A = this chain, B = another copy of it.
């Protein structure tokens, strides 16, 4: 699982309960879907009482939102790396190749952790109600937009950018929903 990036959570009694709860929620989500993510069960996994989570999250939704936000941070990292790295050793990346790499990273992210991807984009969470989640999502989309814009500097190609985003996003959803497999989706990119 991706590394957590919480901000300096000082450890009092438990050590780092906030992290542990997010990790527990992640595990529950993978094993039993979003309905299986329960504050009480997460607390049990973390070895604390059923009400300890309320010291770190406003409620069940806030825990899910934190998990989704971690997902968006992970997606942003994946996109950043794909946008920065040279596609082949030594050669400079052509814009089109870079775009394909970006799409591949997006698809691989969705395929690697389908439950989190679905949590991020499933619409269960109202981003407006969770500033941290909104921020993380905006940063991920920003990373995507930046690389796309760098690849297509001409004006008027906004439509093409949106088409590229929609294509990749649609493929990612189809992969996450197991309608198609990841290899077939990647073959569709270029």
Contact = CB atoms under 8 A, between A and B. Distances in A.
Interface of A: 33-35, 114-115, 118, 121-124, 141, 159, 162-163, 165-174, 176-177, 179-180, 184-185, 187-188
Given A122-B122, A124-B35, A188 B169 contact: no
A118 B126 CA distance: 13
Contact of A174 (B34, B124, B169): B169
B173 A159 contact: no
Number of copies: 2
Q: Which of A124, A141, A162, A187 gathers the greatest number of chain B CB atoms within 10 Å?
A: A162
Given A34-B124, A123-B122, A171 B180 contact: no
A interface secondary structure, majority: helix
A160 B119 CA distance: 29
9 contacts: A33-B124, A114-B123, A123-B176, A159-B188, A163-B167, A166-B174, A166-B188, A168-B170, A170-B171
A173 B159 CA distance: 17
Contacts of A159: 187-188
Contacts of A167: 163, 166-167, 170
